[in-house]
Structure 1
Amino acid sequence: MSRITAGVLACDNENTIRRCLESVSWADERLVILDDRSTDATAEISRTIGARVLVNRFENFAQQRNYGFDHTGTEWLFYIDSDEEATTALGEEIRGVVHTPGYTGWWVPRRNLIWGRETRHGGWYPDYQLRLYRVDSARYDPEHPVHEVVQLEGQSGYLREPLIHHNYTTMQQFRAKQQQYVELEAGIRLRAGVRPRPWTIVSQPLREFWRYYVRLQGYRDGLHGLRLCALVAYYYGYAVTARLTQMIKEQRSNTR
């Protein structure tokens, strides 16, 4: 009988951790990897539900997830984020597929609820995530600390039942998360030696908007899709380029 751990990375998630952990009650073990900077009641709530809580110093998301692999005592690990929930149907599907011979990983579709509205276009659905893996066959690539990349040995398959992602419940939360992304992504590009050309700050946001709104059909979500695609283009295109340019200037000033 293959056993499964449901793992959650958490930091100050007291408002969402209960819903998340209760949605994976079908797992043989629930493990919360808590950022050492967390100050709210996330740990206490998790323990009352029956989860094992481990505190680890945060370096990046890939490192946190690999820490979970190192402290999992089951054959399979299913990672779920604190703002996600697994339906009963997804749990049943997961418990079934882990017995499929030859597979070491499974991709899970995600339904994204953004500002309370399900968003099905602009690249937001099916939004497959590689979240279920044999512990002895997977590892997160430390060279991709922001948008984590799983290094999987073996064959992967695709599940039918989706995760529900309560993604960006407020505009304030959206802006804060995107600003965090901008800082991390600009730092990665700086260390990689990327040097934007003068026109990039204009051309890149236009390319991003075309990609999400036109090519990925974000327009099909109406005004909601227009606003979302415009904001994504601003942060992914303009803000990252502007922050990278600023970092380059600061680096040059410090070396003089």
Structure 2
Amino acid sequence: MFSIYILTHNEEVDIGACLESAALCDDIVVVDSCSGDRTPAIVQDYASRLPLRFVQHPFASHGQQRTWMLREIPAKYDWIYILEADERMTPALFRECAQATQRPDHVGYYVAERVMFMGTWIRRSTQYPRYQLRLLRVGRVWFDDYGHTEREVCDGSTGFLKETYPHYTYSKGLSRWIEKHNRYSTDEAQETLRQLSQGSVQWGDLLWGKTEVDRRRALKNLSLRLPFRPLLRFLYMYFLLGSVWDGRAGFTWCVLQSFYEYLIVLKVWELRSGKGFPLKAGQD
């Protein structure tokens, strides 16, 4: 068996359905980054019906928040599944995770996401199967910051599960998506500059990487060095990966991802030129 840890911040739209999907587990921990909406109240209501613990901790970064919860909040079991509020645990995935925890082969397992957008599974342009490390052994996996998100640090080998999880990336609407990705683009611009100054393209991983994770990371590193990145990203996703067959949802997804890429490019230019635009007094 394993525990489920859920990270939240202003997730009143998603947290109820997320907790419902996690109800198969008898040790659920919600780590909230001091939400200002109804998230705490909704979680407390579910706590009367589910084996659930609620903890609040100020957010510093994705990597630091994950590492803090793994170090400071004791789990009931030796394994933890990390679930985001806009993701869902499925019965089939739960069963496979339970089986994986009985094997001593690995310290962590990657699970592929199914990106759900505008009521459609965007399978092609999201590079499915695109894996995230979700199931991990306590004390053997930590997280470092990488751009706006995090990257895992594993003390041992990792494996891949066959079952997938749905990720409702657009559940809070367009305004929330734009606001969130505007923030993300600042961190991504800083990481881009770091990669350009310190990193290099891993051609071996790009062409012959052992796993999807290795190949995807090498492709991202290469993309940072290409001209016309936003346009190339759209053409790559829409035509080469085949999102043209995903209808209106696929087209919209590719346009938004290209817009996000353009925000990163603009903020890299700001950082390099020193022409950033400081906030006026009273803005946050």
| Structure 1 residue 202: Cα displacement | 6.4
Q: Identity, % of aligned pairs?
A: 27
Cα distance between partner residues in 2 of 1:97 and 1:17:
26
Q: 5 Å matches for 1:153-192?
A: 153-169=155-171, 170-190=173-193
1:52-74 alpha-carbon deviations (Å, 9 max, x no partner): 11111111111111112111323
Return the letter of the residue paired with 2:268: L
1:197 is aligned to: none
Residue 206 (1) aligns with residue 231 (2): yes
Say which SS state the counterpart of residue 67 (structure 2) adopts.
helix
Residues 60 and 145 of structure 1 are in contact (CA less than 8 Å); yes or no, is this contact kept in structure 2? no
Rate the CA distance shift 1:185–1:48 in 2: closer, same or farther, 3 A. same
2:124 matched to which residue of 1? 121
Of 123-132 and 133-142, the range deviating more from structure 2: 123-132
The answer as to whether partners of 2:107 and 2:155 remain within 8 angstroms in 1 is yes
Question: Whole-Å Cα distance in 1 between the matches of residues 174 and 63 of structure 2?
Answer: 26
Provide closer, same or farther for how the CA distance between residues 19 and 220 of structure 1 changes in structure 2, counting only shifts above 3 A.
same
The answer to whether the aligner puts 1:85 opposite 2:82 as a matched pair is no
Q: Distance in 2 between matches of 1:14 and 1:57?
A: 18
Shift of 1:251: 6.3
The equivalent position to 1:20 in structure 2, one of 18, 21, 42, is 18
- Given candidates 49, 56, 64, the residue that maps to 2:46 is 49
1:54 match: secondary structure: strand
Conserved 8 A contact 2:118-2:249: no
Matched pairs, number: 244
Answer yes or no: is 1:246 the counterpart of 2:270: yes
* Contact 1:112/1:124, CA 8 A, preserved across alignment: no
* Cα displacement (A) at 1:233: 1.6
The equivalent of 2:31 in structure 1 is 33
Q: Distance in 2 between matches of 1:23 and 1:252?
A: 43
> 1:252, 1:19 → 2: CA distance?
40
Give the TM-score taking structure 1 as reference length. 0.85
Residue matched to 2:152: 150
| Alpha-carbon spacing, 1:115–1:173, altered in 2? closer, same or farther (3 Å) | farther
TM superposition shift of 1:40: 1.8
Task: Kindly provide the CA deviation profile for residues 122-168 of structure 1, in whole angstroms up to 9, marking residues without a partner as x.
Answer: 125222211000012101023x1523111112222222221111111
Change beyond 3 A, Cα 1:208–1:179: same
Give the C-alpha shift of residue 253 in structure 1: 10
Give SS of 2:23's match.
coil
Residues 194-245 of structure 1, C-alpha deviations (whole Å, 9 max, x = no match): 6xxxxx8961212222332233222231333223212212221x22111222
**8 Å Cα contact 2:147/2:190 also seen in 1:** no
Distance in 1 (CA, whole Å) between partners of 2:38 and 2:152 is 30
The whole-number CA distance in structure 2 between the counterparts of 1:173 and 1:218 is 23
* 1:62-73 correspondence to structure 2 within 5 Å: 62-70=63-71, 71-73=73-75
Q: State the one-letter code of the partner of 1:228.
A: W
